[in-house]
Amino acid sequence: MLLKLIVLLFAYVSLDSASAATDKVFCYYETWNEGIFGPDDIDVNICTHINYAFMGINEDGSLRLDGSDSMLKRLSGLKSKNPDLKLILSVGGWNEGSTPFSNVAADADKKANMADSTLWYLQTYNFDGLDIDWEYPGQRGGTPADQENFIDMLWVLRGKFNDNGGYLLTTAVSNDPDAGAYNIGAISEVVDYINLMTYDFHGDAGGKTGQNSPLYASSTDSDWEKSHANCAAAVNNWLNRGAALDKIVLGLGFYGHGYTLADPNNHGVGAPTVGGGEGGSYDHICSLVDGWTEVWDDEQEVPYKYSGDQWIGFDNPRSIGLKVQFAKSRNLGGVMMWALDQDDKDGSCGTTLLQSVKDNL
């Protein structure tokens, strides 16, 4: 009887641990949209972490505040609503480029400056960690040495954080592990979470319609696309290259990509296109109703819509929910989204994307 009780208790604990594995919700917040979606609009009972996007990086390695001092203070004030909320400074992004990171990562003094500057911001504004969004090591002006230098930079930051009470260290990475000079096993060892940017899988340069963030592959995909250009494949590729399961955070796209169809009568997935078209944030896409037809893509488990020669691949509450369920089924560390402020905050189209995240966690 005692043995049976022990086995049952072990099973209970194991199941509880498994169900609690996917419990982090990293909400990237574009601070330049505060006039449309302000800090007070953020639901801090769903977001467990808020990522301030973006800090810049100076030539000497110190962080650069491109936004406002008041924004950092307003975000910090959200902890009064939820004391468990974690605030993260995200440095970099696409527009910052790769070269500034490459230069800093190659210089010991600049890396030390970066760590000192980061600590100052964290302590001054009551933030809880740093997110490195280097797009991408070894690419866009980077060098082959970025792979090793990136790891060293992360360890310099980790050492500074550990010596000062402990802060979170995360990194946002390409959905394709081959798209940057990544030592994935080493990254996984030093950071707390790896935010996979599992969106932008298809763009208008491809000459055909494609989903922004498909969960699974399409029968119209090339062999390479089937093994790379969807969320499930991206997760598998990162795990197979050495990423820790519980550190992977699945990215959710709160926006969509638009295309102009070559033939308005040919409007399926993979239809020929002649360039970009109307897309944008979810709150805009969901408002496109009159004259638009919305279709559910059974293969990729995401929707698309079209009107005339315009075609948009995007996510809605249903597809977001399925991705959260996928993350849970794989026991990933959590989910994140780019970007929170692109949601339909007032729910004018129905359930918001963020609410769908909560409903499916």
pLDDT digits (tens, 9 = 90+) for 15-27: 333 334 789 999 9
Question: Residue 206: what pLDDT?
Answer: 87
In the prediction, which pLDDT does 140 show?
A: 95
Provide the pLDDT for residue 16. 34
As beta bridge partners, residue 197 has 174
Is the pLDDT at 52 greater than 50? The verdict is yes
Give residue 183's pLDDT band: very low, low, confident or very high (50, 70, 90): very high
Q: What are the extents of the domains in the chain?
A: 17-254+317-360
Whole-number Cα distances in Å, 150 to 182, 295, 326: 8, 42, 30
Which residues form the catalytic set?
Answer: 135
- Assign domain 17-254+317-360 one CATH number from 3.40.50.300, 3.20.20.80, 3.40.47.10, 3.60.150.10: 3.20.20.80
Instruction: Tell me the CA distances in angstroms from 90 to 30, 31, 140, 277, one per residue in order.
Output: 10, 11, 19, 29
* Mean pLDDT of the 75-97 span: 98
What is the pTM assigned to this prediction?
Answer: 0.93
So what's the pLDDT on residue 7?
32
Task: Provide the percentage of residues in the chain whose pLDDT is more than 90.
Answer: 92
Pairing state between β 293-297 and 310-313:
unpaired
State mean pLDDT over 194-200. 98
Residue with tokens 């990215």: 251
Quote the tokens at residue 192.
Answer: 């707390």
User: CA 239, CA 223: separation in Å to the nearest integer?
Assistant: 20
pLDDT digits (tens, 9 = 90+) for 312-347: 999 999 999 999 999 999 999 999 999 999 999 999
Question: One-letter amino acid identity for 310?
Answer: Q
Count other Cβ atoms within 10 Å, centred on residue 11: 10
- C-alpha span between 166 and 134 (Å, rounded): 22
Q: Which amino acid is located at 21 in the chain?
A: A
Q: What is the per-residue pLDDT across 89-104, written as a single tens digit (0 to 9) for each?
A: 999 999 999 999 999 9
